[in-house]
Amino acid sequence: MTQHSVSRATFDEVMVPNYNPATMLPVRGEGSRIWDQDGREYIDFAGGIAVNALGHRHPALVEALKSQADKIWHLSNVFTNEPVLELAQKLTERTFADKVFFCNSGAEANEAAFKLARKYAHDHHGAGKHEIIAFTQAFHGRTLFTVSVGGQAKYREGFEPVPAGISHVPYNDIEALRAAISDRTCAVVMEPVQGEGGVVPADPDFARAVRELCDAHQALLIFDEVQTGVGRTGSLYAYEELGVTPDILTTAKALGGGFPIGAMLTRTEIAKSLNIGSHGTTYGGNPLGCAVAKAVLDIVDDPELLAGVKRKQQLFVELLEDINARHHCFREIRSAGLLIGAELNENWQGQSAKFLGAARERGLMLLVAGPNVLRMTPSLIIPDEDIRAGMALLEDAITSVLEVEKAG
């Protein structure tokens, strides 16, 4: 093994301990393959947590970044620029939205959405209409406002006091929302598929009823599509297939294909409430990120690529069901395009991390969604042979975990 100037041990010396990264240290990627410092190869079913939608080092993205890097990197919002306008044109042409606000992450996109919902209600109905309703197990980011709206208490604990006027009801439970919503509600926020919360799709009837309740109470409907957006579920945005149009949509993760960018989309009438000076961020809409995101959308917004997502979803599910037929480890396999969750059965509750580690030892990068769900969010163009090869490694990993358990 060669000596490297930095390693996983360096992390513990110089980094804040809020993450616990793997011991191997990736240095290079190509498509759905990654290599670590020691030259070991991995198949990537994690995709940077639904970010690397076109895999690693996609030539069109490399070209977009390099060619913009040779022109201009940064201007600030004292000026506008060509890539940001082209990207905004593309997003507004291809969605319900007329206007876009750019930022650098999913949390920032949601922060903008929640601030806009309050400002819009304030402008039109007065200060009393400020309450936000979200769903338990929801994930909306890690700023103070977004952990407060998010439905997992563990992300708020110790950071109190949190902003007021936020409540949570169970997902896919329309009666709970009906009981909670009122004319003081300014917005309801939901993920079309709860990602971090365990890969749980919204029931289409539920989503339609949420829309109706929002309309009845003049509350805005916000869709957090940070994880589901940009082709992940097999349509450009998941709302298209749900048949429910939100008032505000947030997108990030795959939008930059690995370059940090986020965006909030809305209609003209609502956008007016973010008037001059009301909100902003230094890097929002910077030329580098926007040039890359435009290249991502040009590739992903293609019926053939999106049909491929559905086809690959079927292959993933089929192979997971085969594994389950042999090892009986999953209670349920859920998926929306290439957002895939395999929930462990009663014997393996709380142990998803064990499977993750065993997979990594065998050269497969996986994700979890909480303690009970193995999650996969691979490249939307992962080759079928990589899917099959990765699944063989996964079966191997599962076998080893089950055997250790039997022996113990």
Ligand X SMILES: *Cc1c(COP(=O)(O)O)cnc(C)c1O
Using the contact rule CB under 6 A, the part of the chain among 18-26, 221-229, 336-344, 372-380 near ligand X is 221-229
CA neighbor of 84 nearest in space, from 106, 222, 76: 76
What ranges in 197-302 are assigned the alpha helix state H?
204-216, 238-242, 268-271, 287-300
Known catalytic residues are 139, 224, 253
Among residue numbers 100 through 119, which ones bind ligand X (CB under 6 A)? 105-107, 110
Using the contact rule CB under 6 A, the part of the chain among 53-61, 137-145, 209-217, 376-384 near ligand X is 137-145
Q: How far apart are CB 259 and ligand X at their closest, in Å?
A: 12
Pick between residue 117 and residue 393 the one whose CB is nearest to ligand X.
117
Using the contact rule CB under 6 A, the part of the chain among 136-144, 313-321, 355-363, 386-394 near ligand X is 136-144
Instruction: Based on the shown chain and the rule CB under 6 A, indicate whether residue 224 belongs to the binding site for ligand X.
Output: yes
Q: How far apart are CB 170 and ligand X at their closest, in Å?
A: 17
Pick between residue 109 and residue 391 the one whose CB is nearest to ligand X.
109
Q: Positive or negative CA dihedral for 116, 118, 121, 126?
A: negative
Per DSSP, the residues of 363-385 read: TEE-EESSTTEEEE---TT--HH
The answer to whether 259 touches 293, Cβ cutoff 8 Å, is yes
Pick between residue 106 and residue 231 the one whose CB is nearest to ligand X.
106
The answer to whether 43 touches 32, Cβ cutoff 8 Å, is yes
Chosen residue from 102, 114, 139, 259 binding ligand X by CB under 6 A: 139
Pick between residue 11 and residue 155 the one whose CB is nearest to ligand X.
155
**String of b and e for 109-136 (b: at least 16 CB within 10 Å)?**
bbbbbbbbbbbbbeeeeeeebbbbbbbb
Instruction: Based on the shown chain and the rule CB under 6 A, indicate whether residue 352 belongs to the binding site for ligand X.
Output: no
Token pair recorded at residue 65:
């970044």
Using the contact rule CB under 6 A, the part of the chain among 90-98, 113-121, 133-141, 385-393 near ligand X is 133-141
Q: Positive or negative CA dihedral for 81, 265, 48, 133?
A: positive
What ranges in 126-187 are assigned the alpha helix state H?
144-149, 174-180
Instruction: Based on the shown chain and the rule CB under 6 A, indicate whether residue 284 belongs to the binding site for ligand X.
Output: no
Chosen residue from 29, 47, 55, 141 binding ligand X by CB under 6 A: 141
Number of residues that bind ligand X (CB under 6 A): 15
Pick between residue 252 and residue 344 the one whose CB is nearest to ligand X.
252
Residue with structure tokens 């029931």? 203
Amino acid at 228: T
Pick between residue 42 and residue 145 the one whose CB is nearest to ligand X.
145
Which residues of the shown chain bind ligand X in the complex (CB under 6 A)? 105-107, 110, 139-141, 191, 195-196, 224, 226-227, 252-253
